[in-house]
Chain A
Amino acid sequence: DGGITQSPKYLFRKEGQNVTLSCEQNLNHDAMYWYRQDPGQGLRLIYYSQIVNDFQKGDIAEGYSVSREKKESFPLTVTSAQKNPTAFYLCASSIQRGGQETQYFGPGTRLLVL
């Protein structure tokens, strides 16, 4: 089955700790995205990547970092600089960049702060 997998489903972070959320896709998509979802606010873009070894900041990149060493993988690190990390994190991918392209979403990771 082709699709996007995110792990873990739930993640707990202690104060001052960095945590990494995994996102893998086997759709052979070039573009990948990370969104943060908070209740009543819709989705906000954190980072996106159009090709391997290249990525750009989205609207709320502060306190987050990413890498894109492989086409199929786009991990997100929530650093200790992110003061309010509790949220639902969604990874998405699309065949290529372009406004007309459908973005396909993974099942999400819920991050909670202890």
Chain B
Amino acid sequence: AQSVTQLDSQVPVFEEAPVELRCNYSSSVSVYLFWYVQYPNQGLQLLLKYLSGSTLVKGINGFEAEFNKSQTSFHLRKPSVHISDTAEYFCAVSETDSWGKLQFGAGTQVVVTP
């Protein structure tokens, strides 16, 4: 079974600074990788996903992530954050031979201050 570890539970960052959210996974088979964002008291919204091909994936709102198979990582980055990026971010994994079960990390709370 797969598992997902988000290494930081909370990341404080100043407005216009860069941010990186770390995600590591373990699985015995190939995986698909996702990043979702959750604003307070709302559902989750897909930021980006890696299925195959280029290991650098660009998503919405200026976010990008890089898949590193050797390090089993899928870190999320944004070069310059806005106040509106304050939210919780979830990394999720599904195995390629599965019916579609998503395994979520515990989440990283990003707090952007002026």
Give the interface of A toward B (CB within 8 A): 4, 6, 31, 40-45, 48, 50, 58, 90, 92, 94, 97-108, 110
Contacts and interface: CB of A to CB of B under 8 A. Distances in A.
A102 B45 contact: no
Interface in B46-93: 46, 49, 51, 90
B106 interface: yes
Interface residues on B, range: 20 to 34
Nearest to B34: A102
A45 B104 CA distance: 9
Counting chain B CB atoms within 10 Å of each CB, the highest count among A4, A42, A101, A104 belongs to: A42
Contact of B100 (A6, A31, A106, A110): A31
B99 to A, nearest CB: 5
A92 B102 CA distance: 11
B102 A45 contact: yes
Contacts of A100: 32, 51, 94, 96
B95 interface: yes
A107 B43 contact: yes
Contacts of B105: 42
A90 B100 contact: no
A92 B90 CA distance: 15
